[in-house]
Structure 1
Amino acid sequence: MTQAEAAGRVTNIFVAGDNLEVLRALPAGSFDLVYVDPPYNTGHAFSYADDLGDHAAWTAWMRPRLEAAREALHPTGAVFVSIDDHEVAHLRLLMDDVLGEANLLAQVVVNLNPKGRQLGRGFATSHEYLLAYARDGTRCVLDASTPDTVEVTDFPQHHADGRRFRHLPLRNTNKKFNPRTARTLHFPVWGDPVSGRVATSPFDGAVELLPVFGDGTPAVWRWSRPRMEERPDDLVCREIRGVRGPRVDVFQRDWLHEGRRKKLRTVWLAEEVGSTDTAAAELKELLGPVFESPKPTGLVRRVLGTMPADARVLDFCAGSGSTGHAVALANAADGGTRTCLSVDQDVATRPGSKAHDAGYATVADVTRARLRAVAATVGGGYHENSFSTGFSTICGKSPEPG
């Protein structure tokens, strides 16, 4: 029995229905993580009522769903969307608009097909993308680190007390953060390049410093004034040789501590997270050959690993049920109490598709079958929630205030 079951909560809940209607019925702030692999090209295994073959039509279909998902997301949460080359540019602009450009966490390249697609003309495409956005970048609890520890040699500086560290620019080097977009982080500080001291108010021997980019245009600091005042020993003023000659700047002492973990890179390889082939194989083991291009549970588990182990997860384009499967596997592996709400339409599978030939009449039939099989083999339980009953205690937790 998993901890979720012991706590009286079912890991996987499924709702069959129009995902936009379901999303709009969810309590505000009731989910910590949204992962979705939407239909985004004409090769999608199932038929949808909307015309998704046109960029404008696809964007119009996605926009209200992303807006509703944003409302269902807790302020500390994050949303991940899988996408391919066909729509990635349009999705990036759409998510910038709906969630805010400043809340972009990463555009990850996922190597789902190591051999590359050999059919057709041009290059053998071997990747897709994963766009990650925070609901509120200042409050998001996402931890983009790995179980691997950092390299000691990456911290070449030695403090008098024996600790190792490295120098990181205190100014934000990303030009999308500037006095126009983050005006509260553009303010003067004072530093002495001889002693190294940095302060938020003038002192003898100090020069006034404002954050600037290498080309001299105004920038912003990464730290707020209160944070600088709380951690003065972690700051140092140094003279450096810039592109325009010597100048004085402020740096953070980034300390090496025992057990410090590496950050996740923005290229995820198939040997790390699985591929389309391994995803099809794990689904075939449960249900037979019913889906041509499911997402590997390893990919979703890596996403889950960035959030707390009690995260409430939402997938409003559930398809074959990879997200629910991954949630159950993650709980079984680490004792977590994650819950997952999967949503998909009870629309007919396409004649000639593997799902249709296997006897699954609707998209939802595939999702139901997989999540039931997951409950039987991995644990965590399964429940199908009627859309008409409402969602006041969805996934076993009352919504938290936004």
Structure 2
Amino acid sequence: MPFLDWVNKNQAKETTREVPYHLLKQESVHGDASGANADNLLIQGDNLLALKALIPFYAGRVKCIFIDPPYNTQSAFEHYDDKLEHSQWLSMMYPRLVLLRELLAADGTIWVSLDDNEAHYIKVMMDEIFGRQCFVANLIWEKADSPRNSARQFSSDHDHIFVFSRTPDWQPSKLPRTEESNSIYTNPDNDERGPWIPGDPYANKPYSKGLFSITGPSGRVFTAPPGRYWRVSEEKLRDLDTDGRVWWGPKGEARPSIKRYLSEVSDLVPRTLWRKEQAGSNRTSKNEMRALFPAEASFGTPKPEALVKRALQIATSAGDLVMDSFLGSGTTAAVAHKMGRPYIGIEMGEHARTHCLPRLQKVIDGEQGGASKAVEWQGGGGFRFCTLGEPAFDTDGRISAEVKFATLAAYVWHFETGEPGQQMFDTPMLGVHNGTAYYLLYNGILGDRRPAGGNVLTHAVLQAINEVFPHDGPKVVYGEMSRLGASRLGAEGITFKQIPYDVKMR
């Protein structure tokens, strides 16, 4: 498989491993951010740092990632520096895509919206990161309502949306039928089964019983054209005709067509061409932003809510976690909120506060713009607004005093097992994975609240662990120090790892 190369690619690959872990600092709570809304997060900060901070808690949990990164159009936008040199843009995207892949669920997908400036480069990059076998589709979104006559060569009417899955066997959900898709069904013969369309009776592939002649009501004889074959056997075709499921034309002289009834067809398989009538356009999104923020200049490049709604209909169900690490004006989070999908939105710029936060508050209040009527949104729910806090480790590798037990426990659990830390970390025993139990002695978790209390593996601490949190099998214990000899550790089946030196991060 060919690979994309650019200046400083090796440094971009190293960046993924060198990103420091930061803590998330909760700034405010809006609406009801408990229960089903507990995962709803709006994070202001560098998305590379934010993604790394989220991995111990959300690795493998995100069902759909929809991102609209800067297009690198060599233009200046009010809210973005979208004028990155090509190799810099690629170096910016590579480590972020690697971390996003780690957050993606096994049955999840990532959707990346771009124009022609970088779209075809990102396709090759994502082939490398996600695997060519996980490429799903290149969607063409009709973003323009009318031609731009000032264009130097061609007026650009579309953007690309590349869809990749985490595993090759992903299957999309079908889309509900619309009045437009149903309008092609008619009922010229007043069939009691309702509207229908004529189906082609012929097939291109050879069929053992597909060569015969049949006589229609007018006496005309029909055979399959050269190189084609009847789709069904002669017996089956006659049975369908007897049942009124074959159409011979208004005078009984046309070739037989097998009826396909509207009542018997399923929802629609997603297609790769998304018209503005189905998914909105740039004009649609700008009008949505003007309605939300009438006193401000329109956000530079928002996406219409109908576009994101369509993606989430295909890629998620209610309750599935959605992420957008280039949140922009907040469209993905707003639509996910309205559709009952928990979400994590990350935005570095100040418009995380000036646009995203008030927009999501309007959603809670029940605003009726965008996709609201289509999804019957009436308001409610909530989210937490967070910023990036201190690094979890200082330059010497020591753990920050701001790191609480549950946070470090999630890091340790993820490093050892590769699983996200979703359980309640409120005891020294973090859990059992593949027969091994993991323990953490930190911040006096055994009850002594002095900083160093209970953090050393002594005979008394081991006795307490065995009595209160027993495990008949291998154990891994993290602590500041062990006062047990190698023979005792071996006898107990314990592998001891020292804090902070053995606390590594994926």
TM-score by length of 1: 0.63
2:324 counterpart residue number: 315
Task: State the distance in 1 between where 2:161 and 2:301 align.
Answer: 16
1:78, 1:142 within 8 Å by CA — same for their partners in 2?
A: no
Task: Tell me the C-alpha RMSD between the 2 structures.
Answer: 3.6
% of aligned pairs identical?
25
How far apart are 1:328 and its partner, in Å? 2.6
1:192–1:366: structure 2 CA closer, same or farther, 3 Å change rule? Answer: closer
1:110, 1:127 within 8 Å by CA — same for their partners in 2?
A: yes
Q: Is 1:268 aligned to residue 274 of structure 2?
A: yes
Q: Is 1:105 aligned to residue 113 of structure 2?
A: no
Q: Is 1:143 aligned to residue 177 of structure 2?
A: no
Task: State the distance in 2 between where 1:103 and 1:327 align.
Answer: 24
Task: State the distance in 1 between where 2:143 and 2:95 align.
Answer: 28
Task: State the distance in 2 between where 1:192 and 1:292 align.
Answer: 57
Task: State the distance in 2 between where 1:35 and 1:141 align.
Answer: 17
1:338–1:39: structure 2 CA closer, same or farther, 3 Å change rule? Answer: same
Alignment of 1:3-152 (within 5 A): 7-9=35-37, 12-26=40-54, 27-40=58-71, 41-43=73-75, 45-46=77-78, 52-138=83-169, 140-148=170-178
Alignment of 1:323-338 (within 5 A): 323-329=332-338, 331=339, 337-338=340-341
Task: State the distance in 2 between where 1:98 and 1:311 align.
Answer: 23
Task: State the distance in 1 between where 2:168 and 2:79 align.
Answer: 36
1:30, 1:398 within 8 Å by CA — same for their partners in 2?
A: no
User: Across the two proteins, how many residue pairs are aligned to each other?
Assistant: 291
Task: State the distance in 2 between where 1:30 and 1:37 align.
Answer: 21
1:33, 1:312 within 8 Å by CA — same for their partners in 2?
A: yes
Match of 1:305 among 313, 329, 343: 313
Q: Is 1:279 aligned to residue 285 of structure 2?
A: yes
1:372–1:398: structure 2 CA closer, same or farther, 3 Å change rule? Answer: farther
Give the counterpart letter for 1:298 in structure 2. A
Give the counterpart letter for 2:273 in structure 1. V
Match of 1:339 among 318, 339, 342: 342
2:46, 2:347 within 8 Å by CA — same for their partners in 1?
A: yes
For residue 261 of structure 1, give the secondary structure of its aligned residue in structure 2.
coil
Q: Deviations over 1:237-284 (max 9, x none)?
A: xxx998xx99xxxxxxxx998341221221111111111111111111
How far apart are 1:380 and its partner, in Å? 2.6
How far apart are 1:367 and its partner, in Å? 1.8
For residue 357 of structure 2, give the secondary structure of its aligned residue in structure 1.
helix
Give the counterpart letter for 1:296 in structure 2. P
How far apart are 1:137 and its partner, in Å? 1.8
1:31, 1:77 within 8 Å by CA — same for their partners in 2?
A: yes
For residue 136 of structure 1, give the secondary structure of its aligned residue in structure 2.
coil
Task: State the distance in 2 between where 1:113 and 1:44 align.
Answer: 20
Task: State the distance in 2 between where 1:10 and 1:69 align.
Answer: 21
For residue 114 of structure 1, give the secondary structure of its aligned residue in structure 2.
coil
1:345, 1:364 within 8 Å by CA — same for their partners in 2?
A: no
Give the counterpart letter for 1:108 in structure 2. L
Q: Quick one: higher RCO (CA 8 Å, sep 6+), 1 or 2?
A: 1
How far apart are 1:326 and its partner, in Å? 1.4
2:109, 2:165 within 8 Å by CA — same for their partners in 1?
A: yes
How far apart are 1:118 and its partner, in Å? 3.4
Give the counterpart letter for 1:15 in structure 2. I
